[in-house]
Structures are given as structure tokens and as C-alpha cells.
């Protein structure tokens, strides 16, 4: 199978009417503020949405046009691709787009211009590749255990894919690891192949900050756009139970993201924040040319040594950007009021069109 080449995409872009560009995305994840931001920057907007899921989009009146499909994965169907191209569409990839369209299809079959680097999406989805990106420039990450028999402290056990933390657990010994793996299997939360691929890492005790960056390749600068912390089920419910009762009940914690809180970090940590953002940009440039482009996110825990420790990245817009649809404290400092991540993307595309550099920021 041939992967979608840049030349192919440039050919399509050459035929586009640059005064009539449409910003397109799939109706899920961060599409509300992606399309709102696109509208604010003067673009036409289209939402591709699964039938039955359109209510919030229509109630917020978020798109100029809706393409309703039977199932989200139909976004890669040829007739939908043709429709998008006929509208001069640039597609903004987000977590649900990647999950529903599929990495292979995005790399090989989806021949519509995408904002950012389509190749890097595989790197964030695969834990080993993701780790390479972080290790390349010595970004501080949790210690990894290759064999559960080596567990010598509290560890966090994770499973493949972006499943919102479902089935993740904490253990402190090999015995506890085995016991909990069996428990997760009996609940149907993981299967044998998940168990074989269990990822075990040091449990970092601290506070959660998900840092949202935007790399402008037009300005060659990494911007800090906002931060959120996660609101996770059922762990955030369990911690409301007094600790003596926690021991008495048989609930096992899970880390399924159900929402996000906006947050700011103590100011003295921002030097580290910019440093790790610049480092990730550098390693992405080295390992997955053309590297990062547009939004990316580092999910971190700040421990009581005030170290910012990165346990996960998103190489595209992250769901936590929904916590600043009207701008964040940090986007305010750089851009003034009302700059969401969606709007920042649209601003970048607008600037690239004005400068005749659209080809630089799409793949
Ligand atoms: P993830 O699916 O990797 O985003 O993890 C889900 C949640 O698990 C995070 O939001 C954190 O609350 C928690 N978490 C992940 N990795 C660690 C770690 N190494 N130490 C402590 N908590 C973690």
C-alpha cells in the first residue's frame, strides 16, 4: 500500500480556490471550538457527523454545512472525500478523527489535505514510538518496567490505545499486579492480548497538568495556549470517600476521562514548561519530519520536587483544549481575549494563505 504523498496533496491544494477554503472536522472531541474558531477567523465550516450525534452541533449552530454519515468511520469513503475536496476543505485531525478514521486509512487512503503532520499521529498512538520522541531530547518521564516481576514500588499499569484510562490500575508488587490483571479481565475491561501488552511505569505522586502548546511553523515558535487537569471516573469519586472506608469497599480505581478543569501552574514552573515544549518540537523534527505543526499536548504530573514529569503526549489537538473555548490565562497573555486552540489553528491557516505558504502546514 502506498502512503499518501505530499505531492498528491499539493496537487489537490493547487486546484483549491484559496478564497473559499472550508475548515472541516468530524463531529466529536473538540469540533465545537475548532469550527467556532474557524468561523471567527472568517472561514466556511463543515461538520461530518454520525447520524444521531448531531444534536449538540445543531443546537450550538456550529457549522455552515453538515455531512451526515451512517458511522464515523465512513469519513474515509471516497464519496465523502470527493465532497470535502469539492468544498476546498482542510481537515483538522483530532483524537476521535484518528480513532474512527483509523491510522492506516489516514496514512494510505484519505487523500484530502489535513492540517499538520499526518505521519506523527502513529507516533503518539504507539507507546514505544511515543517514548522515543520523549527520550530523544531527555524529557523527564516515569521509569518504565519491562517485566512485572521487577515491580519494586508503586506502579501504574496501562493498556494499548486511547481508551480514556479504562482498566488502568495501580499496584505495588508482582502478586498485586497478577491479581488486578485477572480482576480487569473478569470485568471484560481488558482481554488476554491487552494483558500481554501491559505497560508498567513508575506511579508519580503529584498534581496533573495537561499543557496545551501550539507550534506555529509560520512564526517558528512554540506558544503556550492553556492548561487543564483531568476529571476522571471513578478515581475522582473514590477520593471523596474517607480513606478508612476506601479500604473497606471493593471498588478498583479506573481513570476514564469524563471532563476537564482549567488550571494554571505556579509561575516559577513555566521555564520548564517552555523547555519541554521546545524539546519535543526538536525531537519530532529529527524523528518524524516535518515534525510537529499546530497543536500538541504534554500530559504531566508535577511532583513535590517541582519536576514536570511527562507521562503522555498528543501530537494533535487534545480534548483538554475544550476547557478554554473562549481563551485561557496563557492565550490571553500572547493573543488577548478569546483565543481558543480552534481559533489559533484557523488563524495560522489564514496567515499561511495570505503568505502563500499553505503548502507548508498541510500534509
Ligand atoms: P493516560 O491514559 O496515560 O492519559 O492516563 C490516565 C490518567 O492516569 C492520567 O490522567 C493520570 O491521572 C493517571 N496517570 C497516568 N500515568 C501516571 C503515572 N505515571 N503516575 C501517576 N498517575 C498517572
Condensed to tens digits (0 to 9), the pLDDT of residues 157-204 reads 998 765 656 778 899 999 999 999 998 888 888 889 999 999 999 999
* Angle, CA of 240, 244 and 249, to the nearest 5°: 75
Q: What's the pTM?
A: 0.93
The finding on whether 255 has its CB within 6 A of some atom of ligand 1 is yes
Distance from the alpha carbon of residue 33 to the mean position of ligand 1, in angstroms: 25
Helix axes 341-355, 31-40, angle to 10 degrees: 40
Q: Which of 269, 341, 278, 340 is nearest to 309 (CA)?
A: 269
The finding on whether 208 has its CB within 6 A of some atom of ligand 1 is yes
Cis bond leading into 234, ω under 30°?
yes
C-alpha 20/C-alpha 84 separation (Å) is 12
Residues of 33-44 as b/e, b for ≥16 C-beta within 10 angstroms?
bbbbbbbbbebb
C-alpha 194/C-alpha 199 separation (Å) is 9
Residue 311 CA: nearest ligand 1 atom is 16
User: What are 30-73's pLDDT values in tens digits?
Assistant: 999 999 999 999 999 999 999 999 999 999 999 999 999 999 99
**What are the structural domains of the chain?**
6-114 (3.40.50.20), 125-139+206-352 (3.30.470.20), 144-202 (3.30.1490.20)
At residue 168, the pLDDT reads: 83
Residue 108's alpha-carbon distances to 35, 103, 124, 237, in angstroms, are: 26, 9, 18, 42
Amino acid at each position: 500500500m502506498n502512503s499518501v504523498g505530499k505531492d498528491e496533496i499539493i496537487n489537490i491544494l493547487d486546484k483549491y480556490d484559496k478564497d473559499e477554503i472550508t475548515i472541516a472536522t468530524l463531529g466529536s472531541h473538540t469540533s465545537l471550538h475548532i469550527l467556532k474558531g474557524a468561523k471567527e477567523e472568517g472561514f466556511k465550516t463543515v461538520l461530518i457527523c454520525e447520524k444521531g450525534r448531531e444534536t449538540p452541533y445543531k443546537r450550538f449552530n456550529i457549522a455552515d454545512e453538515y455531512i451526515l454519515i451512517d458511522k464515523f468511520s465512513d469519513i474515509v469513503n471516497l464519496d465523502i472525500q470527493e465532497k470535502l475536496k469539492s468544498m476546498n476543505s482542510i481537515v483538522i485531525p483530532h483524537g476521535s478523527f484518528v480513532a474512527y478514521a483509523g491510522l492506516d486509512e489516514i496514512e494510505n487512503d484519505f487523500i484530502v489535505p489535513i492540517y499538520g503532520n499526518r505521519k506523527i499521529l502513529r507516533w503518539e498512538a504507539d507507546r514505544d514510538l511515543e517514548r522515543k520522541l520523549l527520550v530523544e531530547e531527555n524529557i523527564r518521564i516515569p521509569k518504565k518496567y519491562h517485566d512485572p516481576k521487577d515491580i519494586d514500588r508503586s506502579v501504574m499499569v496501562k493498556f494499548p490505545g486511547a481508551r480514556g484510562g479504562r482498566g488502568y490500575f495501580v499496584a505495588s508488587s508482582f502478586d498485586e499486579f497478577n491479581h488486578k490483571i485477572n480482576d480487569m479481565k473478569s470485568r471484560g475491561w481488558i482481554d488476554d492480548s491487552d494483558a500481554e501488552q501491559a505497560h508498567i511505569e513508575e506511579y508519580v505522586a503529584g498534581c496533573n497538568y495537561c499543557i496545551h502548546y501550539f507550534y506555529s511553523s509560520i512564526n517558528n515558535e512554540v506558544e503556550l495556549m492553556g492548561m487543564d487537569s483531568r476529571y476522571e471516573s471513578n478515581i475522582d469519586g473514590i477520593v471523596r470517600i474517607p480513606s478508612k472506608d476506601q479500604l473497606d469497599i471493593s471498588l478498583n480505581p479506573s481513570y476514564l476521562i469524563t471532563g476537564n478543569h482549567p488550571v494554571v501552574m505556579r509561575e516559577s514552573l513555566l521555564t520548564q514548561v517552555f523547555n519541554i515544549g521546545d524539546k519535543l518540537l526538536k525531537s519530532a523534527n529529527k524523528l518524524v519530519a516535518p515534525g510537529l505543526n499546530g497543536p500538541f499536548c504534554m500530559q504531566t504530573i508535577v511532583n513535590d520536587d517541582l519536576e514536570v514529569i511527562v507521562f503522555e503526549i498528543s501530537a494533535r489537538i487534545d480534548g483538554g483544549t475544550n476547557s478554554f473555548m473562549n481563551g485561557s490565562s496563557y492565550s490571553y497573555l500572547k493573543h488577548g481575549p478569546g483565543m481558543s486552540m480552534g481559533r489559533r489553528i484557523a488563524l495560522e491557516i489564514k496567515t499561511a494563505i495570505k503568505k502563500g505558504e499553505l503548502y507548508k502546514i498541510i500534509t
